[in-house]
Amino acid sequence: MNPTLHDVARAAGVSIKTVSNVLNDNPKVGPETRSRVSRIIDELGYRPNLSARGLRSGKTGVIGLAVPSIRENYFAELADSVIRAAATKGLRVLIEQTNGERKLELEALSGGRLRFVDGMLFSPAALGQDDAGALTVDEPLVLLGERIFGGPTDHVTMHNTSSARAAVEHLLGLGRSRIALVGAPEISEDAASSASLRERGYREALAAAGIAFDPDLVARGGSWGRDTGAEAIRGLCRRGVGFDAVFALNDSLALGALRQLAVEGLRVPEDVAVIGFDNIDEGRFSLPSLTTVDPGRDEIAKTAVQLLVERIGEKGEPLAPRSVKAGFRIVRRESTGFRDDNGGGGVGDGDS
């Protein structure tokens, strides 16, 4: 039988109201009492009834996370980071997959789902700058990603352009000059998309090094998956385009590229150095292990949860929308000739 609030109060030698105050993080509870009650809660394995708690406090203790696809490694690992960050605040996370579809993203904002959570972290893939007005909702909302800037909500994102530039500079520092770009956007794609911002960093690094941009080295279009990465390398080799390095705009693309480079008989990193983006766990175990950009996923999750918690507890005059960018680093591994996971690079200034 599950322990009740009465059981916790009896074991801790306090009133039910005191236990409730501890669960609701009421500052009036003294540190010694708080510690004793928290210990009893853990020992008994007590879990509050969120429905009843919500009726009493107006809060559910649950936040939402809307992402394009849990199947994509980055979003799966982002969800894990958000769940862990939320747990430190005593919150649970309800995850919604939008499939990157405009209709589902708009439904996540206006379809009533926000009624069942205290606030939402929202990472759109189909909505763009013209949809900033759709973010004006009554419930607390924190925006993730690069699709919309200057909206009415708090916004947590990464340094796409300067981190991509740092990735290419890493390859240039190894003496590589024919750097293929895998996963580049279609020419018509939104300039604020992750792909467009990262291509900008690629071009900036080449220009700063005095290397002319070569469109033959750019593989455009396709999903950001392993198949696209493999097909990009296959296409470059079939066309006879010479290259000595690859910058893939995410790690899944890079992993596909690594596979196809082996099929083509090209050695990594001796013939071709490879760097990806996102620092997903899988890259640590590929052969060779994958050098990548760590865009600060854990920091993004912790910051976004903290901003949302502040919005949920907000009283009086609301704060102006806040914008935060996480720091990044280059994680150097075997695909660019390193044996350790030593981090290099840093936070860029003023980019998207």
- The CATH number of residue 128's host domain is 3.40.50.2300
> Is 278's pLDDT higher than 80?
yes
Determine the pLDDT at residue 117. Answer: 87
- Rounded Cα distance between 117 and 60, Å, is 6
Question: Do residues 288 and 254 make contact, with C-beta atoms less than 8 angstroms apart?
Answer: no
Please identify which residue in the block is written with the tokens 């379809």.
111
Any domain includes 53? no
Residues 88 and 151 in one domain: yes
For residue 220, what are its two tokens? 């455009």
Determine the pLDDT at residue 159. Answer: 94
Determine the pLDDT at residue 313. Answer: 86
Residues 164 and 283 in one domain: yes
For residue 118, what are its two tokens? 């205290």
- Kindly state the average pLDDT of the residues 87-114: 88
User: pLDDT tens digits for 159-172?
Assistant: 999 999 999 999 99
Any domain includes 56? no
When comparing pLDDT for 346 and 36, which is higher? 36
How does the average pLDDT of the chain come out, rounded? 89
At a CB cut-off of 8 Å and minimum separation 6, what does 319 contact?
310, 311
Any domain includes 351? no
- Kindly state the average pLDDT of the residues 306-322: 87
Return the closest-CA partner of residue 148 out of 192, 198, 98.
Answer: 192
pLDDT band for 96, please (50, 70, 90 cuts): very high
Any domain includes 337? yes
Any domain includes 349? no
The sign of the torsion formed by the CA atoms of 339, 245, 345, 122 equals negative
User: pLDDT tens digits for 219-269?
Assistant: 998 889 999 999 999 999 999 999 999 999 999 999 999 999 999 999 999
Residues 109 and 147 in one domain: yes
Lowest mean pLDDT of 36-50, 60-74, 85-99, 238-252, name the range. 36-50
- Rounded Cα distance between 171 and 163, Å, is 13
Residues 212 and 337 in one domain: yes
Question: Do residues 60 and 32 make contact, with C-beta atoms less than 8 angstroms apart?
Answer: no
- Rounded Cα distance between 289 and 277, Å, is 13
Determine the pLDDT at residue 349. Answer: 40
Count of the separate structural domains present in the chain: 3
Any domain includes 318? yes
Residues 41 and 110 in one domain: no
User: pLDDT tens digits for 112-138?
Assistant: 566 678 999 999 988 888 888 999 988
- Kindly state the average pLDDT of the residues 18-41: 85
Residue 95 sits at the vertex; the CA angle it makes with 91 and 99, to the nearest 5 degrees, is: 160
Question: Do residues 253 and 224 make contact, with C-beta atoms less than 8 angstroms apart?
Answer: yes
User: pLDDT tens digits for 177-196?
Assistant: 999 999 999 886 777 788 99
At a CB cut-off of 8 Å and minimum separation 6, what does 321 contact?
151, 152, 153, 154, 155
Any domain includes 352? no
Residues 237 and 268 in one domain: yes
Residues 143 and 198 in one domain: no
Q: State how beta strands 291-294 and 273-277 pair.
A: parallel
> Is 69's pLDDT higher than 70?
yes
Residues 250 and 119 in one domain: no
When comparing pLDDT for 258 and 340, which is higher? 258
- Rounded Cα distance between 299 and 122, Å, is 16
Residues 114 and 29 in one domain: no
Residues 209 and 68 in one domain: no
| Structural domain boundaries enclosing 91 | 62-158+297-326
pLDDT band for 347, please (50, 70, 90 cuts): very low
Residues 140 and 111 in one domain: yes
Return the closest-CA partner of residue 345 out of 219, 165, 188, 176.
Answer: 165
Peptide linkage before 48 cis (omega within 30 of 0): no
Determine the pLDDT at residue 332. Answer: 97
Determine the pLDDT at residue 223. Answer: 87
> Is 41's pLDDT higher than 70?
yes
Determine the pLDDT at residue 344. Answer: 47
Residues 181 and 308 in one domain: no
